[in-house]
Structure 1
Amino acid sequence: MTELVTQPKEPDLPNPVLGPLGRLARVAYRRRGRTLVAWAVALVAAVVLSMAFGGEFAADYSAPGSDSKAAQRLLQERFASQSGATVTVVVRADNGVAGAKSDVQALLAKLATAPHVAGVADPFAAPGGISADGRTAVADLRLDVVNPDDMPVEASQRLIDIAGEFGRDGLKVALGGQSIQRAEQGEIGSEGIGLAAAIIILLLMFGSVIAAGLPVLVAVAGLAVSSTLTGVLIRFVDAPDWSTSLATMMGIGIGIDYVLLMVTRFREWRAAGLDPEAATVATLDTAGRSVMVAGSTVVVSMLGLFAMGLSFMRGAALVTILGVVVVLAASVTLFPALLGYLGRHVDRLRLPLGRRATVTVAAGGHVEPGRGWLRWSALIQRHRFVSALLGVAILLALAAPFLGVRFGFPDAGNNREETTTRQAYDLVADGFGPGANGPLVLAVQLPRAGDTAALDKLAAALPGVDGVAAAMPAQVNQDGTTAVVTVLPRTGPQDARTEDLVERLRDMLPQTVAGTGAEVHVGGVTATAIDSTANIARRIPLLIGGVVLLSMLLLLVSFRSVAVAVKAAVMNLLSVAAAYGVVALVLQGGWAGRLVGIDTETPLPAFVPVLMFAVLFGLSMDYEVFLVSRMREVWTRTGDNRRAVTDGLASTARVITAAAAIMIAVFAAFIPSPDLVLKVIGVGMASAILLDATVVRLLLVPAVMHVLGRVNWWMPRWLARVLPELHVEGKAEEHLPAEHKELVAAG
C-alpha cells in the first residue's frame, strides 16, 4: 500500500493547454451528476434494446469453400433430416440388448416426447444399430435445431434426466452430442471469482476502499452496458456463446487495469499540490492518453481476427471489441465524474493491513520512485547484456513444447470419465470400434431423381478402401436427388490416420463416380474439424503479419521511435510463443495437465492460438505503452537514456505488477471451467501476462533499451515529418504549479 507524502498545496495553480481528453475530463467532472445519469440511461436503453431486438448465439466452425462445407450446405438444402443436430443414445446391456428390447423402446419413446426432439431412430431396424456382440445399441435423436448451440440447456438436461431414469444394474444408458456436453459443463461463476480476486489485489495495493473501489465501479459499469448490448449485436452477426466469457475477461481485466493506472496518477497529482478538479484533468490529459493508445492496440489486435475469414471469429472479435470500447468510454467519462464526488476522499476508509510504504513527492512536483525498484532498475542497467540473454532464453525454453503440439478438435473422449458424454463415447468405441465416434458423411448429389448408378459404385468401392471399417447403406431423400452414405473409419476422430483417410477418399471418390454425373462431398464433424484446422493454418500468417504491422505503426506514431516499435513487436511475439508452449505442455496431460484438470493428451483447437494471439498481443502492448510512455516523459525532459529507462521502469513497475496480478487473477479464474476452450484460454493468457509483466517488462525491455542507448529514440527525419505526433506521454509539466514547471510530475 502507498501513503503519499505531499508538500503543502501551492495557491499558484497551472492553466495548461488541454488536449481533447483533458477537456472531456473537465466537462465530466463539472457535470458529474449529468454524466452519471447519462450512464444510467445508457444501461436502461441497452436493456430495452436487448429485450426488443436481442438475438441468439450461433457459430459455424466449418471452413468456407471447403469440401465439408459443401457437404453441409447440400444436406441443409436437400436433406434436412440429415443436417440437423442430433443426440446419440447408447444402451449397453450385459446380457444383450435383445433381452432388454422393451426397456430400450420405452426409453426411446419417452425421449421422443421431450422438447425439441423431432424424431427417434429405431436401433433394432436401422443398419448398424446393434453392435456385433449384441450388447450395445445406438440410436440417434433428431433435434429440431440445426446448430447444437441452439438447443436450450434446459431441454438437454431433460434428456439427461430421462436417460438416468432407465439406468440400472446390467443396463447402462448414456447420451452423446454437443448439446448434451454443453448442458453438462454448466457454469462456475468465473467472472465473479476473477472480480473478487481483483478487489483483494486493489485493496492490498491502495489500502483504501475508495481508491480500490473506483476501478471496480468503472469496470462493472462498462461491463453491464456492453454485455447487455451484446444481445443486440448477435442479432446481426453470428457469435459463439463462449465469446461473452472472452469479452467479460477482457472487460474486467482491462477496465480495472486502465482505471488502476489513472487512480495511481490522480493520487500523485494530488500529492503534487493540485486540487481534485485539476488533478482529474491532469490525469486524463496524461495517463488517459496512454489508456486510449493501449485500448486501441487491443482493438487493432481483435480486428486481425477478420483476416481468418471465419464467421465465428468475426463474431467473437466484435463482441470483445464492443466490451473494450465501452470500457474505454467509461474510463474517460464515468471515471472523472466519480472523482467529482470521491476525489477528495480517495484515501479515505483505509484498512489496517500493515505498514504502508511511502512515496515522496519532491518539491519540484515529481514523484520519487521507490528505492527497491530503483535498485532493481540499476541492477538491470549494470548487467544489461546478461539480463537480455537470460530473458530470451527463458521465453524460448518455455516456447519449446509448442513444437510438438497436436492440432485438432477435442471431443467427448477428452471429457471427464464421470460425464454421460464420455461414457457414451467409451461405450460406442467398445461396441462398434473407435471410428464410430467420428463417422464420415458422404453427401452425394445425384444427376437425376432415382439415378443410383453412383451409389452402386460407392457401395462396391468403399469397403475396400484402406482405413474404412464399414460403409452404411445409402439413404436417399424424398425427391431422390440427394443421398447420404455414412462411413466408419477404423481409427478414432483424433487419429492422424483418420485425416489420411479423409484425404484418400477425396482423391478417389471423383474417379469412383466418374461418368455418372454425380458429385460426392466428404463431410461430418471429423471432416469439418480437419478442414477448419487446415484453413486456419493457411491464414495465420495474414493475422500475425497484419496485427504486428498495424501495432508497430501505432507505436511508431505514439513514441516516434523505430526501435521502440520493432522491439515491442519482437518481444510480444516471444511472450506469446512462450504462452503457446505452456498451453502445449498442459495439453500433454502429464503432471502439468493434471494441475488444471486435463488428465489425457488433448489436441489443441487451431482457433484457440489464433484468439490467444489477437488478445495477448493487444494486452502486451498495453504494458508496453504504460512503461515506455513514462520513459519517454523522462527522455523528453532530460535527454538522458539511462535515466529515462531507470526512472521509467522504477516509476511504473509497481503499477504494472499490480495490473498484471489483476489480469492474471481474472484469466486464471477460467482455468477450473469445464469448457476446454475457456480452460485453455485461461491457462494461456494467465501465463502470458505473468511472463509479460515479469520476464519481458521488468527484465528484457529495460535490458535491451539500456543496450540500445540513444538509438531507442531515433527516427528518420523524413519519417518524422510524415507521421503525426500524438504526445502519448502528455505535457505533464504544464499541469504543475507555475514555480515547478521546469520539472515533470513523473510517476
Structure 2
Amino acid sequence: MASLLYRLGSAAARRPLAFVLAWVLVLGTVVGAMLSLQRPLTNEFELPDSEFAQVLADLGEQIPEVAGGTGTVVLHSEDGFTGAQRDAIDATLADWEDLPHVTGTVDPFATQAELDSSDADLRDGRRQLIDGREEYEKGARQLEQLRWLIGEGERDIARLQRTNPDDATLPARIDGQAELEATLADGEARLADARERLEDGEQQYTDGATLRGLGDGVRLVSEDGTTALVQVRFDASMQEISPDDLALVPETGEQLADAGVEVDYGQELVFSTEVGGIGEAIGVGVATVVLLVMLGSLVMAGMPLAVAFTGVGVSLLGALALTHWLDLQQMAPVLGAMLGLAVGIDYALFIVNRHRRQLADLDHAGTEIDREDIRHSIGLATGTAGTAVVVAGATVVIALAALLVSGIPVLVQMGVLAAATVLVTVLVALTLTPALLALAGRRAIPRRRKKDTPRTDGWPEKWVDAVTRRAPAAVVAVVLLMGVLAIPALSLRLGLPDGGSEPPDSTAYQAYQRVGEAFGAGANGPIVVSADVEEPLAQADVVATQARIGSELAQVEGVRDVLPIGVSEDRRTLAFQVVSSDGPSAETTVAIVDELRGSVTDELAADGVDVGVTGATVANIEVSQKLADALPLYLVLVIGLSLLLLTIVFRSVLVPIIATAGFLLSVVASFGVIVAVYQWGWLGGVFDVHDPGAVLSFMPTLLIGILFGLAMDYQMFLVSGMRESYVHGQDARQAVRSGFVSGARVVAAAALIMVSVFAGFVWSHMTMARPIGLGLAVGVLLDAFLIRMTLTPAVMSMLGDKVWWMPAWLDRVLPHLDVEGSALVDKQRAPRPVADDERHDVEQDALV
C-alpha cells in the first residue's frame, strides 16, 4: 500500500494543477447537481416492525381522522382575545384547511365551548335525574296509597259479605274495587317502566359523568382566556410530509400578527437543518489558530482546511443531490459535516507534518533542496503518513458502517453518510494535499533554529519522562479520574428531544412552554390508545364502554386526563387520548407507556378488549428502547474490531487490549459528562441547557462508533512510532519515549483541532447535534491526552518487552500491514541521514 500511495503522491506532486482542477471540477459538478436535484430533508424516524407504527396503521383504517399527524399552534393574547382577533383566527383556520395535506383544524374556541356545554349538559341531566327521581318517588307514594285504599275496600267488601250479603251497594263496591285494582296494575306497570328508564338514565349519567371527569383537565382555551391551542390535522404522519409543506402553516399564520395575536408553532411544524452557525464558525476558527501555531504559516495552515472543506463539500453536496431519489434525515448532514471537518483537517495535517519533517532533515543537513527533492518528499510523506491515514480512516469508516447492525434505517443512514464523508475526505487528503504541497514548494520548509540557541527538552520529553517515571501513579490517577467522570452514566436515560430542548428564543420552545403553563406539560405529547372490542357495540353501550376502559387507563399512576377522541363506524374500535402529568420525555411518561402496554393491556384483554398504544411520544420511547437494545451488540462488534485491527497493525496481544480498555474508559467518561450536562443540568447556563431531560437516544451508538475510529487514529499515529523505535533496536521503555516524542506534538495538535470542531457544534442551531458535539469533544480530549498520551505510555513502560509479545502462530496467520512505511523508506531514496542529536533539533524546529 505504501508504494502505491508513494506513486499517487508523486503523481500529484508532478501535476499539481491537474489534481487541483480535478477536485474543483468535482466540487462544481456536485454543486450543480445539488442545486438541480435537492429536495427538503426529512425529520422522519422510521422503525421497522415497530408496535406504535402498526397500531397507528390499524387505527388509520378504523378511525382515519385520529391517525394522521397533528401540528400544534399556540395562540396568545395578553388581555384575552378580542372579537377582531377571533375573526382573524377564524380566517386563518380556514386558510390552513386549504393547505396541502391538511384535513382540518380544531377550532379551540368552538371545542372549548362544546366542553363547557357538556359540563352544563351534565348539570342539566343531573337536575332532570333528580326531578325524575322525585316524580318516581311521588308516583310510588301514590300507588302505595292506592294499595291502601284497595286493601281497605277489600276489607269493607268482605265485612259486608259476612254481615249483609244482600246490601244493594255491594255489587257497585265490587266493581269499583276491580277498577281500582286495574288502575293499580296499570300504575305499577308504568312505575316499573319509569323505574327502568330512571335507572337507565342514572347509568347513562354516571357513565357520562365518569367519562367527562376522566378528561376534566383537558382544555383548548386557558382558564384566563389568554391562550388557545389549535390543532392542525394532516392526512399523514408529520415525518412523511415535506418540510416545505409544513412550512406553509407558519407562513400562512403570519397574518395573525397584524391582528395582535402572538403565534408559536410546535416542534413538529418547524425544525432547523441549519449547520453553519456561530458556534461552528468559532470551532473552525480555533482549529485554524492551532494550525497556525503548529505550522507557522498561513499557506501551510490553509492546506488542511482546504482539504477538509473540499472533502465535506463534495460528500455532503453529493448527498443533498441524492435527495431527489432518497429521503435524507436532517441530522445526517450535520454529523457528516462535524466528522468530515475534523478528520479532514487531521489527516491532511499528518501528511503535511511528515513532509515538513523530511524537508527539515534535508535542510538541517545543509542540502540544497531542489524541486525533485520536494517531489520525492511529498511522495514519501504520502506513502508513509498516507498509509496511516488510510488505516485510520478505514477504522472510522468500518465503525460507522457497523451501524447496520442497529437495524434502524435513520441510524444506518447517518452512519453511511458519515462513513462516505470520511472516505471521500481520505481520498481528498491523499490527492489534494500532495498537489497543494507541490504548489507551496519551498514554503513548506520549516524555519531553522538558530545554531547558537541552546537545545532544551520540549513538553513531550518532559511529559513522557514524568509519566514513565511515575507510571503506577499515572495509571491510578487516570483510571480514578475517568471513573469519577463516568459516575453519572449510571443513570443514563435515552429519549428524543422535544420542544423543551429547543433554544429559548425559538418558536418551538415558546410553544412548548406556553402549552405547559396553560394546559399542563403532558399536553405537549399526549398518548393515543386504541381499544378493540370483540363484538360491535350497540349505540347505547358506547359511552358505558368508553367509561369502563377510560377508568382503567386513568388508574395508571401519572395519568392526568383520559379523553375519548373517536369511535369507528362499526363501533368495534375506540380511540382515547391519554395526557400525562409530566412532559413527553419525562421518566414518569415512559413509566406510563410501559404500564399501558403491560398490566393495563393484560387486564383489559381479560375482558375481551385489545389495547394498542401509539402517538409521537410512544414512537420516541420505542425508538429509544430499540437503540438501547442494539447498543450491546454494536459495542461487542466495535470492541472485537478494535482488538483484531490493532493486533494486525501492532503485532502484539497486549497493545490492543490496552488500547481497547482505554477506549472504553473514554466512552463511559464521555457518557458521564453528557448525562451530567443534558440530563442533570449541570453547567446548564454554559451549555444552554434550560430544560434537562433524557439524553438523545442516538448519542451512545454514534459516540461509540465515531470515538472508536478517532481513538484508533491517535493510537496508530502515536504507538506506531513506539513500535518503529522498538523494531529498530531500542529497548521497550526507550522506544515508548522516542515514539511519544516523535508523534506527541502532531497528535496533540490534531486532537485540539478535533475538539475545537466538535465543540463548535455544542451550541448548534440543531439541538440534536449538541450532545453529540459535546460527547465527541470531551471524548477526544480525554482519549487523546489522558488515554493515549498518559495511560498508554505509562502502562507500556511498566510492561516493558512483554507489551510486544505475540505468539508465533498468530503472527503467521495475521496479514502484515506496513503502517509505518518502513519498506517504502528502505526501497526509496530517503533524505540524507543526520545524527541522532541533530535529528532531535530538526524535530524541535519542525514541530514547535
**How far off is 1:107 after superposition?**
4.3
Deviates more, 1:320-329 or 1:581-590: 581-590
Report the equivalent of 1:429. Answer: 516
Give SS of 1:493's match.
coil
Shift of 1:709: 0.9
CA distance in 2, matches of 1:344, 1:614: 40
The aligned residue for residue 176 of structure 1 is 266
1:402 aligns with 2:492: no
Give the root-mean-square deviation of aligned CA atoms.
3.4
Q: Deviations over 1:88-133 (max 9, x none)?
A: 1233566766977445424434544667655322224446553573
**After superposition, where does 1:557-572 map in structure 2 within 5 Å?**
557-572=648-663
User: Larger deviation: 680-689 or 584-593?
Assistant: 584-593
Distance 1:46-1:93 versus aligned 2 partners, 3 A rule: closer
2:21 aligned residue: 37
State the distance in 2 between where 1:533 and 1:110 align.
Answer: 37
Q: Select 2:375's aligned residue among 277, 284, 293.
A: 277
Partner of 1:554: 645
Superposed displacement of residue 178, structure 1 = 2.1
Going from structure 1 to structure 2, the CA distance change for 1:130 and 1:474 (only over 3 Å counts) comes to: closer
1:8 alignment partner in structure 2? none
Structure 1 residues 393 and 515, CA gap change in structure 2 (3 angstroms): closer
1:120 paired to 2:105: yes
How far apart, in 1, do the equivalents of 2:668 and 2:675 lie?
11
Instruction: Note the C-alpha offset of 1:437.
Output: 1.8
Secondary structure of the 1:473 match is strand
CA apart distance, 1:235: 5.1
The answer on whether the counterparts of 1:239 and 1:313 sit within 8 Å (CA) in structure 2 is: no
Distance 1:372 1:512, change over 3 A: closer
Which of the two has higher C-alpha Rg? 2
Q: Distance in 1 between the 2:312 and 2:798 partners?
A: 42
CA distance in 1, matches of 2:438, 2:535: 76
- What is the letter of the counterpart of residue 724 of structure 2? E
Contact 1:250 1:324 in 2 (8 A): yes
Which residue in 2 is equivalent to 1:10? none
Quick one: structure 1 residues 260 and 565, their matched pair in 2 at CA, closer, same or farther if it must change by over 3 Å?
same
CA distance in 2, matches of 1:451, 1:331: 73
Structure 2 match to 1:512: 604
What's the TM-score once normalised by structure 2's chain length?
A: 0.77
* Counterpart selection for 2:49 from 35, 42, 65: 65
Pick the aligned partner of 1:525 from 603, 616, 621.
Answer: 616
In the TM superposition, what is the alpha-carbon distance from 1:201 to its structure 2 partner? 1.7
Moved more, 203-212 or 463-472: 463-472
| 1:387-422 superposed Cα distances (whole Å, 9 cap, x missing partner) | 111111111111112223333333223445444333
Match of 1:709 among 790, 793, 800: 800
> Quick check: 262-271 or 85-94, which moved more?
85-94
Distance of 1:450 and 1:234 partners within structure 2: 48
1:20 and 1:166 mapped to 2: Cα distance? 70
Q: What pairs up with 1:111-190 in 2 under 5 angstroms?
A: 111-112=96-97, 117-126=102-111, 130-131=220-221, 133=223, 135=225, 136-143=227-234, 146-148=237-239, 150-152=242-244, 155=248, 157-159=250-252, 161-167=254-260, 173-182=263-272, 188-190=277-279
1:412, 1:421 within 8 Å by CA — same for their partners in 2? yes
**Structure-1 residue corresponding to 2:693:** 602
Taking the TM superposition and a 5 Å limit, the aligned residue runs for 1:442-461 are: 442-443=529-530, 457-461=545-549
Q: Which amino acid aligns with 2:285?
A: A
Matched letter for residue 289 of structure 1: T
How many Å apart are 1:190 and its aligned residue? 4.3
Aligned equivalent of 1:344, options 439, 442, 445: 442
Unaligned segments of structure 2, at least 5 residues: 116-217, 363-368, 844-848
Query: Which residue number corresponds to residue 140 of structure 2?
Result: none
Q: Which moved more, 1:336-345 or 1:527-536?
A: 336-345
Residue 395 of structure 1: SS of its match in structure 2?
Answer: helix
> Aligned with 2:578: secondary structure?
strand
Equivalent runs, 1:347-746 vs 2, <5 Å: 347=445, 371-443=458-530, 457-464=545-552, 465-466=554-555, 467=557, 468-476=559-567, 484-507=575-598, 508-509=600-601, 511-512=603-604, 519-588=610-679, 590=681, 592-731=683-822, 732-735=825-828, 737=830, 740=833
Q: How far apart, in 1, do the equivalents of 2:762 and 2:579 lie? A: 35
Scaled by the length of structure 1, the TM-score of the pair is 0.87
When residues 173 and 226 of structure 1 are mapped into structure 2, their CA distance, relative to the original with a 3 A threshold, is closer
Would you say how many aligned residue pairs link Structure 1 and Structure 2?
A: 713
Match of 1:202 among 267, 291, 295: 291
Deviations 1:462-490 (A, max 9, x none): 13431443332342567988664322234
Q: Deviations along 1:339-381, whole A, 9 cap, x unmatched?
A: 2322333249x9xxxxx97899xxxxxxx99543223222222
Q: Describe the shift of the 1:137–1:510 C-alpha distance in structure 2 as closer, same or farther (beyond 3 A).
A: farther
2:718–2:740: 8 Å Cα contact kept in structure 1? yes
**Paired letter, 1:58:** T
Normalized per residue, the structure richer in helix is: 2
**Alpha-carbon deviations, 1:475-529, whole Å to 9, x = none?**
256798866432223443233332222222223336536676x754201121112
Structure 1 residues 178 and 443: alpha-carbon distance in aligned structure 2, compared to 1, 3 A threshold: same
SS of corresponding position for 1:670: helix
SS at match of 2:7: helix
> Letter of the aligned partner of 1:40 in structure 2?
V
| Larger displacement relative to structure 2 (392-401 or 540-549) | 392-401
Alignment of 1:298-313 (within 5 A): 298-313=396-411
Q: What is the Cα deviation at residue 278 of structure 1?
A: 1.0
The 3-state SS of whatever aligns with 2:265 is strand
Q: Distance in 1 between matches of 2:694 and 2:306?
A: 39
Output the CA distance in 2 between the equivalents of 1:430 and 1:371: 59
Alpha-carbon displacement from aligned partner over 1:707-746 (angstroms, at most 9, x marks no partner)? 1111221111111111110011111454454874999989
Aligned-residue identity in percent:
33
Among 417, 420, 429, the alignment partner of 1:331 is 429
Q: Which amino acid in the other structure matches residue 751 of structure 2?
A: A
Residues in 2 aligned to 1:199 and 1:502: alpha-carbon distance in whole angstroms = 49
CA contact (8 A) 2:584 2:617 kept: yes
Shift of 1:252: 1.0
Q: Specify the SS of the correspondent of 1:58.
A: coil
Task: Give, in whole Å, the separation in 2 of the partners of 1:296 and 1:455.
Answer: 63
Structure 1 distance, partners of 2:611, 2:344, is 51
Question: 1:144 offset after TM fit, Å?
Answer: 6.2
1:410-453 Cα distance to aligned partner (Å, 9 max, x none):
32234454443333333333443332222111245688999888
Q: Could you tell me which runs of 5 or more consecutive residues in structure 1 were left unpaired when the two chains were aligned.
A: 1-16, 351-355, 361-367
Query: 2: distance between equivalents of 1:95 and 1:345?
Result: 69
